[in-house]
Chain A
Amino acid sequence: MSVLALELGTALAGVADLLRRATVQVQVGVRGEGSGVLWRADGLVLTNAHVAPAGRARVRISDGRVLEARVVARDPECDLAALLLPPGEFPVAERGSVAALRPGELIVAFGHPLGVPNALSLGVVHRVLRDDTGAPRWIQADLRLAPGNSGGPLADVSGRVLGLNTLVAGGLGYAVPVPVITRFLERAGPPASGRRAA
């Protein structure tokens, strides 16, 4: 066994560990489960709007605790929702740069596909789809996703989050990129935006 292949394997396990800490499981009523990403240390969680309808959701964080969260912002059009956990200090994921992404770069998805907890998949950037202004709209990913991955992180191989895995079409994964999430949070106002309520 080559040392390089072993080191690569260990490195991937390290990336999985980083992402595991910042990835949550979102449960709403009797519906299936989705994934989510701890976005801010004060307990703001990002997931897909189709995972979290308005109201409340149960969120299982990586230390095993299940917390009641409140949906504080939601936009079905960009399929994003922001949830707020009870006050506390939570581990968050670093954010990576979407602007510099190139086809062929290694990426990973983390989440709970089909109810399997803490699953990692590896693939590459297929391409970044942009809107008319050139701003990233979707990251198309050549990797394996399944229901339950929704709302979970798509990240680079340093564990920096690039977007939220949202749908699968034509065998490709589609993730909402960080800039779209940032704009969504700004639009949403407090407490999702992090600005103090007036």
Chain B
Amino acid sequence: MTASTSGQTSLLAGLSRDLAATVEQVGRSVVAIHGRRRIPSSGVVWRPGAVVAASHTISRDEDLTVTLASGRITPATLAGRDPTTDLAVLRLDDAAVPPVDRGDDADLQVGRLVLALGRPGPQLTASLGMVSAVGGEWRTWQGGKVDRFVRLDLSIYDGFSGGPLVEVGGRVLGINTSGLSRAVALALPVSTVERVTDQLLSAGRVRRGFLGLAAQPVQLPDPLRSRLGLTGRVGLVIVNLESEGPAEQGGLLLGDIIVALEGHEVGDPSDLLAALGPERVGEPVAVQLVRGGEIRTVNVTVGERPARRGR
């Protein structure tokens, strides 16, 4: 081996040592969660005594245990879960396990070298790759709000869901999950994990606004639009009202066509979801609608979405 080759090889060897050291350091805060019949899933000690995990990997609410990095198995209780973002938080009796060092969403850059860690059993495991795409806020198929879209070019192996996404310096940039997309590896960014963890630790659940109606988009006829001065081409026709739900109690009727909430046009049912964050629960919302060819405004008090059985 020539001198220059050996210099370059030691550069690679140095990178290799750094990666292994990062894995070892962050791995102290990565636990195995025994909450399903299959192999254990992964979790991260996010705050002292609080473990973040992927909701879909925990199939029961009780009788949960956790294997710590030391190999010790300790009981855990479910503080709460939010299936819409696929996050769950567990409380540990043992507050001595160090929480991870968190980065922030600004560290999520395309091309950044990252590690995914998992503990699908007593042993720590790792994979290497990079952040492949970063986008803005999006909604999961269950309607949960995620602050950044984070796609990974790395392998999320069986049991990796709930494990940390780590930049090579050792700061955690998110939680990996395969529960929100079958096709690609995704991570939930730190901002989303913090927000959901706050809510699960304080209330045991993520509150969501609820109107108790189902609606589908309909084209608004041009003469109607020009007569009523409507700018949107599409409204949402109410096709179902939950008995004694907020919408029914507020006086909405089957066949009403919702055109705006609080003055903001709605053209897709997801616009309703987006307007029903936790802060709206208990607050009145002005619903503009077309009924019998006339425009009206009806005030509805936003309720809280009842808990669903779901993972």
Q: Do A and B bind each other?
A: yes
A residues 82-106 in Cβ contact with B at 8 Å = 102-106
Cα A105 to Cα B24 with chains together (Å): 11
Known contacts A102-B24, A103-B27, A123-B128: does B16 contact A8 (CB below 8 Å)? no
**Cβ of B277 to closest chain A Cβ, rounded Å:** 38
Interface-located stretch among A32-40, A66-74, A154-162: A154-162
Which A residue sits closest to B159, measured CB to CB? Answer: A170
The answer to whether B157 and A126 touch across the interface, beta carbons within 8 angstroms, is: yes
Give the CA-CA distance A169 to B128 in the complex, in Å.
18
User: Considering the chains assembled together, what is the distance between the CA atoms of A124 and B125 in angstroms?
Assistant: 10
CB of A138, distance to nearest CB on chain B (Å): 12
Structural contact, B12 and A8, CB atoms closer than 8 A: yes
On whether the beta carbons of B9 and A104 are closer than 8 Å, the reply is: no
Query: Smallest distance from the beta carbon of B159 to chain A beta carbons, Å?
Result: 10
Q: Does A12 contact B (CB under 8 A)?
A: yes
B44 to chain A, nearest CB (A): 16
Given contacts A142-B126, A156-B16, A172-B157, contact A102 B23 (CB under 8 A): yes
Interface flags for B24-61 (1: CB within 8 Å of A; 0: not) read 10010000000000000000000000000000000000
Contact with A along B186-221 (1 / 0, CB 8 A): 000000000000000000000000000000000000
Kindly provide the distance from the CB of A146 to the nearest chain B CB, expressed in whole angstroms.
15
A7 touches B23 (CB 8 A): no
Query: Which of A103, A159, A171 contacts B155, CB < 8 Å?
Result: A171
B285: interface (CB < 8 Å): no
Return the chain B residue nearest A10 by Cβ.
B8
Contact A105 B19 (CB under 8 A): yes
Measured in the bound complex, the distance between the Cα atoms of B201 and A41 in whole Å is 64
Q: Say if the beta carbon of A190 comes within 8 Å of chain B.
A: no
Contacts of A7 in B (CB 8 A): 8, 11
Neighbouring B residues of A11 by C-beta, 8 Å = 5, 8-9, 11-12
In the complex, the chain B residue whose C-beta lies closest to that of A102 is B20
* Residues in B whose Cβ lies below 8 Å from that of A8: 8, 11-12, 15
**A127 is an interface residue with CB less than 8 A from chain B:** yes
How many Å from the CB of B161 to the closest CB on chain A? 14
> What is the total number of residues of chain B having a CB less than 8 Å from a CB of chain A?
29
Question: Chain B residues near A170 (CB, 8 Å)?
Answer: 157-158
| A14 interface hit (Cβ, 8 Å) | yes
* In the complex, B115 has a CB within 8 A of chain A: yes
Chain A interface bracket (under 10, 10 to 19, 20 to 34, 35 or more)? 20 to 34
Greatest chain A CB density within 10 A among B21, B23, B24 is at: B23
Chain A residues lying within 8 Å of B11, measured Cβ to Cβ, are 4, 7-8, 11
Partner of A158, one of B13, B20, B154: B13
A158 contacts across to B, CB distance below 8 A: 9, 12-13
Which residues of B (88-132) have their CB < 8 Å from a CB of A? 115, 117, 123-128
A104 and B22 contacting across the interface, CB-CB below 8 Å: yes
CA distance A126 to B126 in the complex (A): 5
Q: Is the CB of B8 within 8 A of A142?
A: no
Q: Are A126 and B125 in contact (CB under 8 A)?
A: yes
Q: Is B264 an interface residue (CB 8 A)?
A: no
Asked if A27 is an interface residue, CB under 8 A from chain B, the answer is no
CB-CB contacts below 8 Å: B126-151 with A: 126-128
Q: Which residues of B contact A (CB under 8 A)?
A: 1, 5, 8-9, 11-13, 15-17, 19-24, 27, 115, 117, 123-128, 154-155, 157-158
Q: Can you report 28 residue pairs joining A to B where beta carbons are below 8 Å apart?
A: A8-B11, A14-B5, A14-B9, A102-B20, A102-B23, A102-B24, A103-B20, A103-B23, A103-B24, A103-B27, A104-B20, A104-B22, A105-B16, A105-B17, A105-B20, A106-B15, A123-B127, A124-B127, A126-B127, A127-B123, A127-B124, A127-B125, A140-B125, A142-B126, A157-B13, A159-B9, A171-B155, A172-B155
